[in-house]
């Protein structure tokens, strides 16, 4: 205890100062290192938080109207290309097909009879047994009968086509979303029943127009997604849209009218993944992304 009391006061103060100075110097060095790192990183990269996952979303709608007889899919289900999704009650269209077949048969019989009349009248006119006017009437009737037969044949093909439309198939493989179709519901032509999101994914980064001068297709990109912190995806710049987002909006600005205020515009840049995304990290359309494009 006496030895501690004999330590000079100045020495104690110096020891206390060292305890604060050394950590401060270390922190200052680390801060400068990180600062320089991010400074040079910012010089060689362009980034934005206005970026999102995009993909193909195919809206499925019927080509004929009717009551839904059967639905074969459910929400968020994976479907294959050509898989049956839903079926419209086909009875009305089967009846129309039978009527079209009967009309075609009658029209073809009428056309065949008209052709026989033409052949018979040709022989009669050679013997001067009928007038040319009668012959012309027969030829006209034959042409009309043939035209009616062709029309009936087209109506039959249309009936077959409409019957085939009662079965709704998946145009592409993907996952079912926005399902709004139920059995027993009456649907109209063009009414949206569901959406199929295909497996392809890419990133659309809305960069400031002032950041585009160094952006070129093929430049490497590191992609981080808010949903998966710590996971880094690799990609590259695919293309740059030839127009700003505002230019193709629902109500594009009319800069020639009224007061004008200059606003930095954003241009969509398409970024594709170098590899297929890991199934453990599914990518949903609209997910927030932060891409960093290496420009140097």
Supply 278's token pair: 């890991």
Is 3 inside any structural domain? no
Q: Which residues of 51-84 are buried (b: 16+ CB within 10 A; e: fewer)?
A: bebbeeeeebebebebebeebebeeeeebeeeee
Give the CATH number for residue 269: 2.40.30.170
My answer on whether 149 and 207 are in the same domain is: no
Find the DSSP H helices in 80-185: 91-126, 132-164
pLDDT of residue 163: 96
* Reported confidence tier of residue 91, pLDDT bands at 50, 70, 90: very high
pTM score, whole prediction: 0.76
Whether 134 is in a domain gets the answer yes
* The pLDDT of residue 1: 44
Query: 277 or 90, which is more confident?
Result: 90
Residue 183 resides in a domain: no
Q: What is the pLDDT of residues 179-215, one digit of tens each?
A: 999 999 999 999 999 999 999 999 999 999 988 988 9
76 is a domain residue: no
> Which range scores top for mean pLDDT: 43-47, 58-62, 230-234?
58-62
- Count Cβ neighbours within 10 Å for each residue of 188-205 and write b for 16 or more, e otherwise: eeeeebbbbbeeebebbb
Residue with tokens 């695919």: 238
Statement: residue 13 has pLDDT above 60: no
Name the DSSP letter for residue 53: E
Q: What is the pLDDT of residues 227-264, one digit of tens each?
A: 999 899 999 999 999 988 888 887 787 777 777 788 88
| Domain-embedded: residue 66 | no
Residues 280, 197 share a domain:
yes
Cβ atoms 111, 149 nearer than 8 A: yes
Residue 210 within any structural domain of the chain: yes
Residue 143 domain flag: yes
Residue 12 maps to a domain: no
Whether residue 143 sits in one domain with residue 231: no
* DSSP E strands, the chain: 45-47, 51-60, 66-71, 78-79, 84-88, 167-169, 174-177, 186-187, 194-208, 220-225, 232-240, 266-273, 288-294
Q: CB within 8 A of 228, min separation 6: which ones? A: 281
Handedness of CA 33, 36, 39, 42 (dihedral sign): negative
Number of domains in the chain: 2
Same domain, 199 and 129: no
Helix 132-164 with 91-126: angle, nearest 10 deg: 160
Whether residues 200 and 273 fall in one domain: yes
Least confident stretch, 18-22, 73-77, 131-135: 18-22
Of residues 128 and 216, the one with the higher pLDDT is 216
- Do 156 and 240 lie in one domain? The reply is no
**Domain housing 215:** 47-57+193-294
- Residue 151 shares a structural domain with residue 205: no
Residue 93's nearest CA partner among 143, 158, 34 is 158
Same domain? For 160 and 245 the reply is: no
Token look-up 């006209």 returns 140
User: What is the mean pLDDT of the segment spanning 72-82?
Assistant: 95
Q: Is the dihedral of CA 227, 229, 231, 237 positive or negative?
A: positive
Say yes or no: 155 and 235 in one domain: no
User: Residue 283 has what pLDDT?
Assistant: 94
The CATH number of the domain holding residue 96 is 1.10.287.470
């Amino acid at each position: 205890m006496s030895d501690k009391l004999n330590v000079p006061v100045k020495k104690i103060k110096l020891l206390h100062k060292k305890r604060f100075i050394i950590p401060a110097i270390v922190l200052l060095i680390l801060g400068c290192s990180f600062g320089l790192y991010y400074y040079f990183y910012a010089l060689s990269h362009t980034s934005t938080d206005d970026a999102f996952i995009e993909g193909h979303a195919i809206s499925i709608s019927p080509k004929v109207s009717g009551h839904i007889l059967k639905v074969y899919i459910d929400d968020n289900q994976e479907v294959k290309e050509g898989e049956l999704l839903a079926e419209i009650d086909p009875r009305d269209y089967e009846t129309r097909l039978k009527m079209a077949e009967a009309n075609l048969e009658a029209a073809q019989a009428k056309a065949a009879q008209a052709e026989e009349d033409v052949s018979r009248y040709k022989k009669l006119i050679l013997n001067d047994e009928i007038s040319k006017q009668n012959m012309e009437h027969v030829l006209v009737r034959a042409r009309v009968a043939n035209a009616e037969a062709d029309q009936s044949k087209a109506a039959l093909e249309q009936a077959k086509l409409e019957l085939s439309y009662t079965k709704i198939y998946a145009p592409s493989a993907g996952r079912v979303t926005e399902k709004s179709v139920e059995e027993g519901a009456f649907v109209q032509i063009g009414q949206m029943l569901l959406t199929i999101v295909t497996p392809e994914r890419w990133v659309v980064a809305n960069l400031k127009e002032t950041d585009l001068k160094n952006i070129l297709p093929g430049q490497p990109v590191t992609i981080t997604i808010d949903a998966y912190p710590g996971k880094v995806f690799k990609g590259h710049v695919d293309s740059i849209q030839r127009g700003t987002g505002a230019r193709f909006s629902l109500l594009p600005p009319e800069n020639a009218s009224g007061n004008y205020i200059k606003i930095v515009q954003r241009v969509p840049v398409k970024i594709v993944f170098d590899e297929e995304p890991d199934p453990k990290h599914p990518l949903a359309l609209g997910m927030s992304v932060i891409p960093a494009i290496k420009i140097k």
